[in-house]
Structure 1
Amino acid sequence: MAKKSFQELINSPGMPVLVDFYADWCGPCKTMNPIVQQVASQYNGKLKVIKINVDNNQAAAAQYRVQGVPTFILFHQGQQVWRQAGAVPAHQLSQVIQQYVH
């Protein structure tokens, strides 16, 4: 994914964007995948979810100083408003997103 297109994606007007930095070899990432899919489905049309494989997109991972996976970053109006490294319970992820979904 080109840097410009990533920037365009996170600057989505009026819709928060959840970025999931993951790796195929990461156990906790695999555990979080169904939770991320559930959240994407729950907020369909109100939240954009982007999954970024850090092995294939090292520039994006470096730009956002991702040091471990999974790392979740929520952007609202192009600004980072929340960040969490490691697994996140579904209810906590929903609580954070709910603050920015209209």
Structure 2
Amino acid sequence: MKRTDTETTSPPLTLLWFSAQWCGPCQQMAPVAERVAEMYRDQVHLVKIDVDKHPHMAAEFNIRGVPTLVLTGEKQVIDRQVGAAHLPALTQWLDQHLTANTNEGS
């Protein structure tokens, strides 16, 4: 099956959101994560990873607590943030990295 350009084009950054069903702060952060996914849909791909269902992923990224956000670029970790984040702090963090990513690409 032939892929179109839209299928092969992916956002430049991926935000891995490590969480768990039993984690209160993770549940509180769910609406924030959904809003971020909407706001940055063309720039950042959000992937929610349940550490209980995917312990190998948590081990690969050395996750010691949830929630943890790991921002990745072309096969490398750019930054991480541990703990629940409010929307303004999270958008500021992402904007900082998106600006840096854009400047490196020019």
- Indicate whether the TM-score tops 0.5: yes
Structure 1 residue runs of 5 or longer lacking an equivalent are 1-11
Cross-structure match for 1:84: 81
Give how far 1:13 is off: 6.0
Measure how far apart 1:14 and its partner are: 5.4
> Secondary structure in 2 aligned to 1:68?
coil
RMSD: 1.7
Aligned-residue offset at 1:63: 1.0
Matched-pair contact (CA < 8 Å) for 1:16–1:100: no
**Aligned residue number for residue 94 of structure 1:** 91
Question: Shift of residue 77 of structure 1?
Answer: 2.1
- Counterpart check, 1:59 vs 2:59: no
Question: Percent of pairs identical after alignment?
Answer: 35
Corresponding residue for residue 9 of structure 1: none
Please give the TM-score of this superposition, normalised by the length of structure 2.
0.78
Residue 73 of structure 1 is matched in structure 2 by 70
Structure 1 consecutive aligned stretches of length 4 or more whose deviation exceeds 2 Å: 99-102
Q: C-alpha distance in 2, partners of 1:82/1:31?
A: 22
Structure number, greater radius of gyration: 2
TM-score if structure 1 supplies the norm length? 0.81
